[in-house]
Amino acid sequence: MATPIDIKPESDRELVLARIIDAPREKIFRAWTDADILKQWFVPAPWTIAKAEIDVRPGGASLIVMKDPEGNEYPNAGVYLEIVENEKIVVTDAYTSAWQPSEKPFFTAIITLEDAGDGKTRYIARALHWTKEDLEAHEKMGFHEGWGQVAEQMEAVASKL
């Protein structure tokens, strides 16, 4: 099971989730960058991913459609800003495909993966928000609980790759 580690936010508009994941970072990176694998863990169950189209490269588009248990769909479009294989993924909803500004940017995610020894990974997910109000809204949506559950789901999937 993913072990929490204490990492403090670097600003008053940042939420952080940090874990030691029992899977090597190459497998975690693959779980983040292979659409078929990402669909298996990316939202807290019982939610699902109805669609995942990802072009994992700087400037590449991301479209992930989340689906709630009642069948309502929530599209999330974004663009990858930085990709360092097996080390870092930066994606934002500030842009949609082809660098088109989004109507309402909410946050940028920075995922870092560091070798923690024994086939484990130090996993840090940072959510940088445009405003304090966006941060507060993300907390109320259940950031820590949801992203924590998703980290455990990702660990279960990645450990079997």
The number of angstroms, rounded, from the C-alpha of 69 to the middle of its chain's C-alpha atoms is 20
Q: What is the pLDDT of residues 31-43, one digit of tens each?
A: 999 999 999 999 9
The 10s digit of each residue's pLDDT in 64-85 is 999 999 999 999 999 999 999 9
Only one residue has tokens 């989004």, namely: 102
CB 138 within 8 A of CB 150: no
pLDDT at residue 9, as a whole number: 87
- Round to whole Å and give the CA distance between 47 and 92: 22
Compute the mean pLDDT over every residue in the chain, rounded to the nearest whole number. 95
- Say how many domains are in the chain: 1
- Domain hosting residue 127, numbered range: 3-158
Answer yes or no: are the C-beta atoms of 21 and 161 closer than 8 Å: no
